[in-house]
Amino acid sequence: MQTKYRILLPLISLAVLLAATFWMQPRTMSYFGVNLLFNLAVPIALATIAQMMIIMVNDIDLGMGAFVSLVACVVATFLQDTPVLGTIMLIGLILSYAAMGALIHRLELPAIVVTLGMSFVWGGLALFILPSPGGASPGWLRALMTSKPPLMPMAVVAAILFSIVTHLLIMRSGIGTVLRGVGGNTRAVQRAGWSVIWLKALAYGLAGLFAVLAGMALVGLTTSADANIALRYTLLSIAGVILGGGEFIGGKVSPTGAVIGALTLTLASSFLNFMRLNPDWQIGAQGAILILVLTARLLFAKREART
C-alpha cells in the first residue's frame, strides 16, 4: 500500500464510527460532547505514538501500560510535591527507556521478552511509589487538560497537534527517515555509517518521552493515579498503531494514523457502551471491529498489488 493511501482507511473508519455515534446519541454532537468522547483518548494517543516509535524499529513493547502507570504515579506524587525531583525522575525514566533500547540491540535480545520483563519492574516501582491509589495532579496539568480552547475541544486540538509534530519528526525530518530505515533495512543503515545502537536508543528514548507525556496527560484528566491505572494501554497502543495503518515490521508506520487509531479505539468502546451491549460481549465486539478494519486493509492491499 502506498504511503499516501495508508492514512485513508483509518480516516474512513473513524469517520464512519463517529457518524454512527452521532446518530445514536445526538447529545455527543457538540463541543462538550466531543470533548467528553475524546478527552480520555489523549493519553492513549500519546501512548500509541510511543508504541509506534518502537514498532518502527521492528520491536514491540509489552511494558507500555506498566510504564505509563509508573509515570502517572511519579507525576501524581513527586512532580506535584517536589517539581524539581519529579522532573529529574521523569527524565531518568526516559533515559532508562533509551538504555533499554541500546541493551536490546547490543545483546541481541528479543524486545518482546525484555519489555515484558521490564513491565514487572515498572509495576513494582509504581506500587512502591504509590501503594494505594492517591496523589494529586499538579494544578497546571489539570488546567491544561481541562482547558476549553475556542472553536475546537481540547482533545481535538491535542490530536491535531500530536499528528503534525510527529509527522514532521518521523516522516519529514532526516533523522526520522533514518529511524524508519532501521526498521526497513538495518544493515543498509549500518553500512551507510550510522550507529544502529544509538538509533535504537533514540527510538526507545522517543518512545519513553511520549509515554511520559501520556502519563502526564492521564493524571491531568483523572486528577490522581494508581499503580494499575494504565495497564490497558499496552494492548490499546499496539492495536492503535496497527489500526492506524502501521505494520509490525519494515519500519512502515504512520504517526497521523496512530493518533487516528487511538481515537477510533476509544470511540469504539463508547459506541459499544451506547449500544448497551452486554459487557461480556464488549471486548469481543471491540476485537471484531479491529479485525474488520484489518480485513478491509488487507483487501485494499491485495487489490493494489494486483494492479
Cβ contact 284:31 at 8 Å: no
Three-state secondary structure call for residue 231? coil
Instruction: Kindly tell me which residue out of 49, 102, 227, 263 binds other proteins, with binding defined by CB under 8 A.
Output: 227
| Nearer to other proteins among residue 4 and residue 27 (C-beta) | 27
Question: In the complex, what is the shortest distance from the CB of residue 77 to other proteins, in angstroms, rounded to a whole number?
Answer: 12
- Determine if 45 is a binding residue for other proteins (CB under 8 A): no
20 is a site residue for other proteins (CB under 8 A): no
Number of H helices, E strands in the chain: 16, 0
HSE toward the beta carbon, residue 201, CA cutoff 13 A: 12
Is residue 98 involved in binding other proteins (CB under 8 A)?
no
SS3 call for 247: coil
Only one of the segments 11-19, 130-138, 196-204, 237-245 lies at the binding site for other proteins (rule: CB under 8 A); that segment is 130-138
Burial 284-298 (b: 16+ CB within 10 A, else e): ebbeebbeebeeebe
Q: Is 187 helix (H, G, I), strand (E, B) or coil?
A: helix
Which residues, including other chains, have CB under 8 Å from residue 299's CB and lie 6 or more apart?
A: none
Is residue 206 at the binding interface for other proteins, with CB under 8 A as the rule? Answer: no
For residue 169, the tally of other CB atoms under 10 A from its CB is: 16
Give me the least distance between CB of 118 and other proteins, in Å please: 19
Q: Which is nearer to other proteins, 224 or 256 (CB)?
A: 224
Q: Which residue has the cell 518482546?
A: 112
Indicate which single residue of 53, 114, 153, 226 sits in contact with other proteins (rule: CB under 8 A): 226
Does residue 32 belong to the site contacting other proteins (CB under 8 A)? yes
Rounded least distance, CB 225 to other proteins, Å = 6
Residues in binding contact with other proteins, number by CB under 8 A: 42
Report d(CA 127, CA 90) in Å as an integer.
16
- Residue closer to other proteins by CB (options 133, 250) is 133
Binding window for other proteins (CB under 8 A); candidates: 32-40, 104-112, 206-214, 241-249: 32-40
Q: Which of 109, 116, 121, 127 binds other proteins (CB under 8 A)?
A: 127
Picking from 106, 73, 102, 103, the residue whose alpha carbon sits closest to that of residue 90 is: 73
Q: Segment near other proteins (CB under 8 A), from 6-14, 34-42, 163-171, 250-258? A: 34-42
- C-alpha distances in Å from residue 293, one per residue of 8, 133, 149, 232, 242: 12, 37, 32, 20, 10
CA distance 79 to 73: 9
Do 207 and 53 touch, CB atoms closer than 8 A? Answer: yes
Residues 271-290 that bind other proteins (CB under 8 A): 273-274, 276, 279-280, 282-283, 286
Partner residues linked to 134 by β-bridges: 225
Question: Minimum Å distance from CB 173 to other proteins?
Answer: 32
**Segment interacting with other proteins, rule: CB under 8 A, options 178-186, 215-223, 239-247, 296-304:** 215-223
Q: Rule CB under 8 A: which residues touch other proteins? A: 25, 27-28, 32-33, 36-37, 39-40, 43, 127, 131-135, 146, 218, 221-233, 266, 269-270, 273-274, 276, 279-280, 282-283, 286
